[in-house]
A and B are shown apart, each in its own frame.
Chain A
Amino acid sequence: EVQLVESGGVVVQPGGSLRLSCAASGFTFDDYAMHWVRQAPGKGLEWVSLISWDGGSTYYADSVKGRFTISRDNSKNSLYLQMNSLRAEDTALYYCAKDIPRYSSSWSLDYWGQGTLVTVSS
């Protein structure tokens, strides 16, 4: 059974930093691209970032480019999101999600975690 479990969400002050983690199990983690998607309270979904199966390619939404860094450790079946220079508008539930095809991306997310809440507030 595919499982994705996010952690690391806390309350942080504006300008602060945070690293989110996502522990994956139930599939061959290093075969698949992985995404982060966020959802502000009561709002819609917003795509944040993608990392390729081997970590060689990364992509970011304009809203986080230059502030967030996605990475993965395939030896630990783990995905990360380093978040710097946090702003109030980054407050959201952050989901990690798996892409569909092996060794590529169809920009479709077939498994999602339950999310971890990041609150940026003074």
Chain B
Amino acid sequence: QSALTQPPSASGSPGQSVTISCTGTSSDVGGYNYVSWYQQHPGKAPKLMIYEVSKRPSGVPDRFSGSKSGNTASLTVSGLQAEDEADYYCSSYAGSNNWEVFGTGTKVTVL
């Protein structure tokens, strides 16, 4: 089971929006509504930002939103802030095909 494909980098100016894609297959992203997104700052543990495609955990700003179309999920960060600069990883349930697979990761830079 290969990792989900994410762009290596994305960037935007403060206040702008950035969207990160996460492409899988019908056996993972496309087959289940168990897509999550994690934010990881350098030297820190990952933090859950979105789960079950579009749900936000308590405490996560509504600037973060998730969606899915076919085999591709997306994370949009609106109103970019300096503290949003981090690595972002998607993940998806993949059934008996290795159960859970992470994306390759995207480094978001706030210009």
Indicate the size class of the contact surface on chain A: 20 to 34
- From A60, A107, A115, contact of B93 by CB (8 A): A107
Q: Bound complex: CA of A115 vs CA of B91, how far in Å? A: 19
Which of A24-32, A42-50, A82-90 binds B?
Answer: A42-50
Residues A106 and B47 in contact, CB atoms below 8 Å apart:
no
A62 engages B105 (CB within 8 Å): no
Mask of B36-50 contacts with A, CB within 8 angstroms, 1/0: 101010000111100
The total of chain B residues at the interface (CB under 8 A) is: 25
Q: Are A112 and B51 in contact (CB under 8 A)?
A: no
Given A62-B1, A107-B93, decide whether A112 and B46 contact each other with a Cβ distance below 8 A: yes
Asked if A50 and B100 make an inter-chain contact with CB atoms under 8 angstroms apart, the answer reads: yes
Q: Quick one: given A44-B102, A45-B89, are A108 and B47 in contact (CB under 8 Å)? A: no
A44 touches B89 (CB 8 A): yes
A95 at the interface (CB under 8 A from B): yes
CB pair B48 A47 closer than 8 Å? no
Main secondary structure of the interface of B (DSSP, over half): strand
A47 adjacent to B100 (CB under 8 Å): yes
Q: Does B78 contact A (CB under 8 A)?
A: no
Cβ contacts under 8 Å, A50 to chain B? 99-100
B3 A44 Cβ-Cβ under 8 A = yes
Asked if A110 is at the interface (CB within 8 A of a chain B CB), the reply is: yes
Query: B70 at the A/B interface (Cβ < 8 Å)?
Result: no
Within 8 A of A (CB), among B42-92: 45-48, 51-52, 57, 89, 91-92
Q: Is the CB of B105 within 8 A of A44?
A: yes
**In contact, B98 and A112 (Cβ under 8 angstroms):** no
Q: Does B22 contact A (CB under 8 A)?
A: no
CB-nearest residue of chain A to B1: A62
The interface residues of chain B lying within 8 Å CB-to-CB of A115 are: 45
Interface contact B38-A45, CB-CB below 8 Å? yes
**Which positions in A face B, CB cutoff 8 Å?**
35, 37, 44-47, 50, 59-62, 95, 100, 106-110, 112-115
14 A-B Cβ contacts within 8 A?
A35-B100, A37-B46, A44-B104, A44-B105, A45-B89, A47-B101, A59-B100, A61-B100, A95-B45, A95-B46, A106-B51, A108-B34, A108-B36, A112-B47
